[in-house]
Amino acid sequence: MRMDMRLLLGASLLAVTACASSNSSAVRAGRADLRAALRGGWMDAASAINGMTLVASRPRPEGFFDAKDPGNILLANSDMAFSGGTLFMGSFHGFQVWDVSNPSSPRNRTSVVCPGGQGDVSVHGSLLFMSVEMPNGRIDCGTQGSMSDPVSAERFLGVRIFDISNLDAPRQVAAVQTCRGSHTHTLVTDPRDPANVYIYVSGTSGVRPASELAGCSGGMPDQNPNTAQFRIEVIQVPVASPERAKIVNAPRIFADARTGNAAGLWSGGTHGPGTQTTEATDQCHDITVFPEIGLAGGACSGNGILLDISNPASPVRVDEVTDPNFAYWHSATFNNDGSKLIFTDEWGGGVQARCRAQDRKTWGADAIFDLRDRNLTQRGYYKLPVVQSEKENCVAHNGSIIPVPGRDIMVQAWYQGGISVFDFTDAANPVEIAFFDRGPVDPKNLALGGFWSAYWYNGHIYGSEIGRGLDILALSPTTHLSQNEIDAAALARVDHFNPQTQVRYTWPAHITVARAYLDQIMRARGIPADRSASIASEMERADRLTDAASRRAALARVADTVDSVATGAAGDVRAKLGSLAATLRGM
């Protein structure tokens, strides 16, 4: 992870925007892949791009990088959250406020110094939440570093709460300590209780001594019923008075429902009592909630779990899975209608090269599950479809849905493997449709770097590069994705975005959405070409009518035509034709 100093001394402090050009040809795998063997460098690496354009790159702001050691983890960028035209970039050193109201010209507005990584952030109104697990976290946000005392009243591990109503001077208003810190957290809103929000805390560090934080103790639940392992914490935050935030529950979501044993997952007796349960599933790495369907996906040690969150303060496990290829369950992402759930496997913890030729396609990958009646069934895997070098940390990491109507598409960060956009509409056969990648941060050593997260937000893809800063990309049309589909995705707007808190995207009844559906029908060759061509021209003509009543009537006639075509079409195409007809009737 450390850098070669000779190389770095020669590196310019100034950022050089990585050159990137759009390539509209289809993504090619194998030896023709543009990503193979890119020239390395911190801020001047070569790059390859397909199906996207890089619209802006900004280096980390002053104070948040060390030119002598770009991979210094204490200054690494981490996760992002969005609200209106503002992007919040988490960092192991605090967080940064970026004005992205014009995505092609992002501006760093404020940098807030408050060390304690990982610094994953989420936002709700004028509140920002931040995870702290590193030993240098202090209650007062000081930069003194790790405290010399093993037990310190100054130490902070848990979830910080900032008031961000003044974006030029966010201030810490509360800090909720937890026994294992907060590796990640999840913002949970309750549609019936707008006065409060809830934070699920996933802690993966060791348990702090009770002398530092009262009530903390570890161990197996059969020997210590109060163990801080085998649980998550639930913080309730009164939105109007966040200083009153407190832990209201510590549910034992791994418990065996029948016996009540808190170590219900992977506990056992094969090797005699007391010896085999020390490594039972006892923690979650990350939890993604989808309040509209009342479910959460938990990526928890050796299991993926499904939680009922209809009572947000008391999540209840309803299903759990393991994986024959043996994944380390890292994070979860639902598709837009909640019928699929993707778990990622962060094999190697994100600091290892795991996309080499010898690393299997099913290791360090995404596992794609069907979700029906609260049951998970595995269908397929997706892994970055190009080999990366030994000098690039690379494994599945954070991403989000891209709301193209009628398709399941995800954009995902793969650390130094870059950003990959893939279609998983067919869960058993996911396929890449766009990518962006740079050469290694350090051509000679495996240095920490690459994309921590890549998220879609209102028409653009935002990437948090650990060592290189903020990248903003736009999709460009290819044979895999039409301009109409890209434009339709941009119509599904949200006023904020927290990656671990999914909302269901909806699309306005708009001609662009209709065109997107028709593009998909034509790509699938689902109906004869002359039929799709005539539907296209009829719906365009109808849309152009200026008299509202005539337009509505004409659109309804086209919808009737679409319905009649649908009766003879195959299942997938029939569903798309149905969506097209509904869109036309809604216009």
Partner 1 sequence: MSATMPTRAALLATLVLGACSAGIGNGGTAIVQAGAPGEPSRPVQRSAPAIRAAYTPADVRFMQDMIVHHMQAVHMTELAEQRATRDDVRTLSRRIAASQSGEIDLMERWLTARGEPVSAASKDGGHAHMPGMLTPAEMDLLERASGVAFDRLLLESMIRHHQGALTMVAGLRARDNSGVEPELHQFLSSVDTDQRAELARMRALLGRDFKQVRP
Instruction: Tell me how far, at minimum, the Cβ of 316 lies from partner 1, in Å.
Output: 13
Instruction: Tell me how far, at minimum, the Cβ of 513 lies from partner 1, in Å.
Output: 38
Closer residue to partner 1 in complex, CB, 433/448? 448
Closer residue to partner 1 in complex, CB, 75/555? 75
Q: Give the integer Cα–Cα distance in Å for 318 and 239.
A: 29
Instruction: Tell me how far, at minimum, the Cβ of 483 lies from partner 1, in Å.
Output: 33
Instruction: Tell me how far, at minimum, the Cβ of 29 lies from partner 1, in Å.
Output: 22
Closer residue to partner 1 in complex, CB, 144/479? 144
Closer residue to partner 1 in complex, CB, 44/66? 66
Phi, psi of 283 (to 5 degrees): -160, 155
Closer residue to partner 1 in complex, CB, 310/325? 325
Give the residue from 274, 290, 215, 280 showing the smallest Cα distance to 253.
280
Q: Give the integer Cα–Cα distance in Å for 454 and 80.
A: 9
Instruction: Tell me how far, at minimum, the Cβ of 285 lies from partner 1, in Å.
Output: 7
Give the residue from 140, 172, 173, 171 showing the smallest Cα distance to 155.
140
Run of H or E including 560:
helix 548-566
β-sheet bridge partners, residue 288: 297
Closer residue to partner 1 in complex, CB, 326/506? 326
Q: Give the integer Cα–Cα distance in Å for 461 and 217.
A: 42
Closer residue to partner 1 in complex, CB, 80/245? 245
Q: Give the integer Cα–Cα distance in Å for 58 and 257.
A: 50
Q: Give the integer Cα–Cα distance in Å for 180 and 526.
A: 54
Closer residue to partner 1 in complex, CB, 275/546? 275
Closer residue to partner 1 in complex, CB, 245/368? 245
* Burial status of residue 325 (CB atoms within 10 A of its CB: 0-12, 13-18, 19 or more): middle
Q: How many CB atoms sit inside 10 A of residue 31's CB?
A: 7
Q: Give the integer Cα–Cα distance in Å for 340 and 377.
A: 9
Instruction: Tell me how far, at minimum, the Cβ of 458 lies from partner 1, in Å.
Output: 23
Instruction: Tell me how far, at minimum, the Cβ of 142 lies from partner 1, in Å.
Output: 8
Strand ordering across the sheet containing 419-423: 47-50, 431-438, 419-423, 409-413, 399-402
Grouping H, G, I as helix, E, B as strand and the rest as coil, residue 373 is coil
Closer residue to partner 1 in complex, CB, 168/495? 168
CA 401 to chain centroid: 8
Instruction: Tell me how far, at minimum, the Cβ of 192 lies from partner 1, in Å.
Output: 29
Closer residue to partner 1 in complex, CB, 173/556? 173
Cα dihedral sign, 384-389-395-398: negative
Cα dihedral sign, 134-139-141-145: negative
The CA radius of gyration of the chain, in Å to the nearest whole number, is 24
Instruction: Tell me how far, at minimum, the Cβ of 7 lies from partner 1, in Å.
Output: 14
Instruction: Tell me how far, at minimum, the Cβ of 323 lies from partner 1, in Å.
Output: 9
Strand ordering across the sheet containing 171-177: 118-124, 127-132, 158-163, 171-177
Residue with tokens 């802006």: 56
CA 233 to chain centroid: 21
Instruction: Tell me how far, at minimum, the Cβ of 143 lies from partner 1, in Å.
Output: 4
Cβ(397)–Cβ(364) under 8 Å?
Answer: no
Strand boundaries in 313-416, DSSP class E = 316-321, 329-334, 340-345, 366-372, 375-382, 399-402, 409-413
Closer residue to partner 1 in complex, CB, 358/546? 358
Closer residue to partner 1 in complex, CB, 115/403? 115
Q: Give the integer Cα–Cα distance in Å for 580 and 521.
A: 10
Tokens of 98: 């970026």
Pairing of strands 158-163, 127-132: antiparallel
Instruction: Tell me how far, at minimum, the Cβ of 371 lies from partner 1, in Å.
Output: 17
Grouping H, G, I as helix, E, B as strand and the rest as coil, residue 541 is helix
Closer residue to partner 1 in complex, CB, 338/348? 348
Instruction: Tell me how far, at minimum, the Cβ of 246 lies from partner 1, in Å.
Output: 13
* Burial status of residue 254 (CB atoms within 10 A of its CB: 0-12, 13-18, 19 or more): buried
Instruction: Tell me how far, at minimum, the Cβ of 356 lies from partner 1, in Å.
Output: 9
